[in-house]
Amino acid sequence: MGTKTADETGAETAGTTTDDEKAALTGTDAANEVTEEAPHSPEDADELAAEDEAAVADGSVGVGQGAGAVVSAALGFVSLTGSWIGTLAGARQTLVGQLQTSASSGTTVAKQLEVIYGDAWQATALWAGLFALAALVTGVVVLARPAFGSPARPQAAWIKSVSWAGVALGVIGLLLAVLKYTDALLGLPSAG
């Protein structure tokens, strides 16, 4: 087919251009090419390919680490927002305190506040601290896992991010639980 093209000097020349020349002029070949990095040796490539196929076939590529990361973040969140078992422990301790104060009629108001509400507050803080500690330990284990596994398989970025979130929530939850348990945060009001 006959077309006019411009050479390097800008002068138009008449002639035929092939599809390869058109592609070279437009740069579509370079845009459509996919480059792949070659492995270091054929044996390494075969070994990694076989491992990847086996891992994908059984569906276990990072599943345990991903699940651990999500569990860590969830436990950290529960430590901050409260859990059913923490609420139940607090309500139980309130009931025990009410029974103790009704049995002894000579208790002071300060003692009643401590027995009825203070112990329940501490029980709730204790359970929040346990959930925070579990989040912290789970997140650290997930983050440390690649050090004991196959160095050829890096940990996915989302697993690291979620694990760090679980660790951070665990640290914050543990700090708040300690502050609540020691009455440094929202302590009981004075009776007098």
Backbone angles phi, psi at 155, to 5 degrees: -75, 140
Q: Give the global pTM.
A: 0.61
Tell me whether residue 177 is exposed, middle or buried, using C-beta atoms within 10 angstroms of its C-beta: 0 to 12, 13 to 18, 19 or more: buried
Backbone angles phi, psi at 100, to 5 degrees: -65, -40
pLDDT for 49 equals 56
Euclidean distance between CA atoms 106 and 172, whole angstroms: 41
**pLDDT at residue 147 is higher than 70:** yes
Q: pLDDT tens, 41-95?
A: 556 656 655 555 555 445 556 788 888 899 999 999 988 888 888 888 888 888 8
Tell me whether residue 6 is exposed, middle or buried, using C-beta atoms within 10 angstroms of its C-beta: 0 to 12, 13 to 18, 19 or more: exposed
Question: How far is Cα of residue 21 from the mean position of the Cα atoms in its chain?
Answer: 51
Tokens linked to 35: 């480059």
pLDDT for 130 equals 93
pLDDT band at 135 (very low <50, low <70, confident <90, very high): very high
